[in-house]
Amino acid sequence: MIRVMSDFEIRTLRTDEHRAASDLFRGSLHVPPSDDADWERAARAYQPGGTIGAFDPDLIGTARSFDAELTVPGGARLPMAGVTGVGVRADRTRRGVLRALMTTQLEDFAARGVVFANLLASEAVIYGRFGYGLAARNRTYGVDRHRARLRPDLPSSGRVELLDVDAAVAELPGVYERIPHRPGMMTRPEVVWRQYENHLRRSTDPVRAVVHHGPDGPDGFATYVVSGLHQHPWTKTLDVGDMFAATPAAFAGLWRFLLGVDLVDRVVAGARAMDEPIELLLADHRQSAVDRIGDDHWVRIVDVPRALAARAYGPGEPVVVEVTDPVLPGNAGRYRVTAGGAERTDAPAALTLDAATLAMAYFGTWRPSALAAAGRIVVRDAAAAEAADTLFATRQPAWSGTYF
Ligand SMILES: CC(=O)SCCNC(=O)CCNC(=O)[C@H](O)C(C)(C)COP(=O)(O)OP(=O)(O)OC[C@H]1O[C@@H](n2cnc3c(N)ncnc32)[C@H](O)[C@@H]1OP(=O)(O)O
C-alpha cells in the first residue's frame, strides 16, 4: 500500500523496519528504545504487514494494527482491527501526518472487510475526528486487605494455582478461550499474547499469575505484581493486571486468593468492568472504593451497515437515524433501527449523528438521549430519542479487559 501526500509518503513497513517504528513510537511516548533482548520479544507482537509508516524520506510517523474479533451486544463476533503504536516524530507533528496515517489505515480496513477498529487513546482529544468514539468506560478500585472480609456465604468451589511467567505464558491463552464474552470483549490473537508476554517479562517487580480451577476445569485467571516492598511508609500494594472469571465462584475464588496474599496492605484492580461486583463480595462494602472511572476502548465503526445489522436491539419503537461520516463516506446515510435489526432506508431521519457518536451509543455505554442532551445527536422527533434509548440499551456494560 502506498499513499503519496505533498511532503511525505505512506507505505506498509517491511518486517525489518518494525524496530524503527517501535523506537519512533516509544520515543513519541517519551520511553527509551528497546534493547536487543526486549526487541527480540517485542518483535513478535507485530503482525506482518500490519504496520504503516510515513516517510519524508525519513520515517516520521507510524501506526500498527492486528486482526481480531470483537463481540457486539447480542453476542455476535465481528472482524476488528486493534490499532496501537501510533506516533509521529516530535519535529514533524501538526502537519497532517496522523491524519494521513489514520485515513490510510481506515480505508485499508474497509477494503479488507474489517467492521470495527479499536484502540486505547493516549489523549481523549485525538481520535474523535477520525470517527472513534468512547465505546466503553471502566473503573479502577482498591480494597483494604486488612479490613476487608469476604461474605461467608460466597460461592466457593475449586482451587487456585500459582504460576510463574513461563507457565502463565503457556496456559493463560487456553483459559481466556473459556471465558464468555460480554460486548466489547475481543479475541486475543497470537500477537496480543506475545505483547502480554513481553509486558510480563519486562516487569522489574516479579509478576505472578493464578488460575482458578472449577468443577469443569480452568475457569478464571489473574496476573498481579506487588510493589512498595522497599520504601517507606511500607504500604504494599498488589496490583491486579489481567483478570477474568467465567463463573461467580471463579470470581469469588480469585478474590479470596488475592485478599489472602501476605505482606500486602491494599489490592488495586485497574480498568475493570463498570458492573464488576466487588462491593457485593465484601461483608462491609465500604472496604472497597473506586479510585477512578476511566476510558476503556475507543471504537471506530468501519462498516456501519454491517455493524448495525449484527447487534441485538431492545424492544423499542423503530427509529430512523442518519449517520454522517466524512472519513469513510460509504457509511453515510439513513438506517432504520428496529427491535428486530437494522438496515438502510430512504425514510426521513428522526436523529442525526456522526460515526464517533454512533460508536458511543452502539455499545450501550451512552444513552442516545444523553448524547442528544450533550448536542452530539440532532433530534427531530423527541419520541425517537426515547425509543432509541430502549433500542440501544444493553444488558451488561461493554468492557474489553484487553490492553494493547
Ligand atoms: C492508539 C495509540 O497508539 S495512542 C498513542 C498516540 N501517540 C501519542 O500520544 C504520542 C505523542 N503524540 C504524537 O505522536 C502525535 O502528536 C499524534 C500522533 C498524537 C498526532 O500526530 P500529528 O501528526 O501531529 O497529527 P495531525 O497533524 O495529523 O493532526 C490531525 C488533527 O488532530 C489534532 N491533534 C493531533 N494531536 C493532537 C493532540 N495531541 N491534542 C489535540 N489535538 C491534536 C491536530 O490539531 C489536527 O487537527 P485538525 O484536523 O483540526 O487540523
What is the pLDDT, as a whole number, of residue 233? 72
pLDDT at 155: 84
Regarding the beta carbon of 103 and ligand 1, being less than 6 Å apart is answered: no
The residue nearest atom 35 of ligand 1, judged by CA position, is 126
> Where along the chain do its domains lie?
2-119, 138-171+204-294, 303-392
201 lines ligand 1 (CB under 6 A): no
pLDDT at 69: 98
Q: Looking at the CA of residue 88, tell me the nearest atom of ligand 1.
A: 14
Residue whose cell numbers read 450501550: 364
pLDDT at position 377: 98
Q: Full-prediction pTM beyond 0.90?
A: yes
Task: Please state whether beta strands 351-354 and 377-379 pair in parallel, antiparallel, or not at all (unpaired).
Answer: antiparallel
Q: Where are the alpha helices (DSSP H) in 70-177?
A: 97-112, 165-177
Q: What is the pLDDT of residue 3?
A: 85
2-119 and 138-171+204-294 share one fold:
yes
What secondary structure does DSSP assign to 337-390, as a single string?
Answer: EETTEEEE--SPPSEEEEHHHHHHHHTTSS-HHHHHHTTSEEES-HHHHHHHHH
Q: Is the minimum distance from the CB of 63 to ligand 1 under 6 angstroms?
A: no
Q: List the residue whose alpha carbon is closest to atom 7 of ligand 1.
A: 87
Which of 88, 101, 118, 125 has most ligand 1 atoms within 8 Å of CB, for mutation?
Answer: 88
Annotated catalytic residues are 127, 404
In this structure, the number of other CB atoms found within 10 A of the CB of residue 109 comes to: 23
Phi-psi region of 30 (alpha: psi -120 to 50; beta: other; left: phi over 0): left
pLDDT at 90: 97
Ligand 1 nearest atom to the CA of residue 121, by list position? 4
**The predicted structure's pLDDT at residue 229:** 75
| 87 assigned to a ligand binding site | yes
pLDDT at 156: 81
| 96 in a labelled binding site | yes
pLDDT confidence of residue 294: 98
**DSSP state letters, 4-56:** E-SS-EEEEPPGGGHHHHHHHHHHHTT-PPP-HHHHHHHGGGSPTT-EEEEES
Q: Which of 31, 56, 86, 403 to probe ligand 1 with, by most ligand atoms within 8 A of CB?
A: 86
Those residues whose C-beta lies under 8 Å from the C-beta of residue 181, and which sit 6 or more positions away, are 71, 75, 77
Which atom of ligand 1 is closest in space to residue 101's alpha carbon?
28
Look at the domain 138-171+204-294 and name its fold: Aminopeptidase (3.40.630)
303-392 fold: Nonspecific Lipid-transfer Protein; Chain A (3.30.1050)
Q: Classify domain 2-119 at the CATH class level.
A: alpha beta
Between CA 343 and CA 280 the distance in angstroms is 41
* Residue 86 beta carbon below 6 angstroms from any ligand 1 atom: yes
* 119 CB within 6 A, ligand 1: yes
d(CA 328, CA 334) in angstroms, rounded, equals 15
Q: Which of 132, 186, 184, 136 is nearest to 328 (CA)?
A: 132
Residue of 6, 83, 97, 98 to mutate, ligand 1, most atoms within 8 A of C-beta: 98
Return the bridge partners of 163, or none.
Answer: 209
CA of 123 to the centre of ligand 1 (A): 9
Which helix (H) or strand (E) covers residue 96, if one does?
none
Q: Is residue 367 a known part of a binding site?
A: no
pLDDT tens for each residue of 86-118: 999 999 999 999 999 999 999 999 999 999 999
Q: Is ipTM over 0.95?
A: yes
What distance in angstroms lies between residue 126's CA and the mean position of ligand 1's atoms? 5
What does each C-alpha distance from 404 to 65, 186, 191, 393 come to in angstroms? 10, 11, 10, 27
Q: If you measure from the C-alpha of residue 99 to the centroid of ligand 1, how many angstroms do you get, rounded to a whole number?
A: 8
pLDDT at 1: 76
Ranges of the chain whose pLDDT falls below 50: none
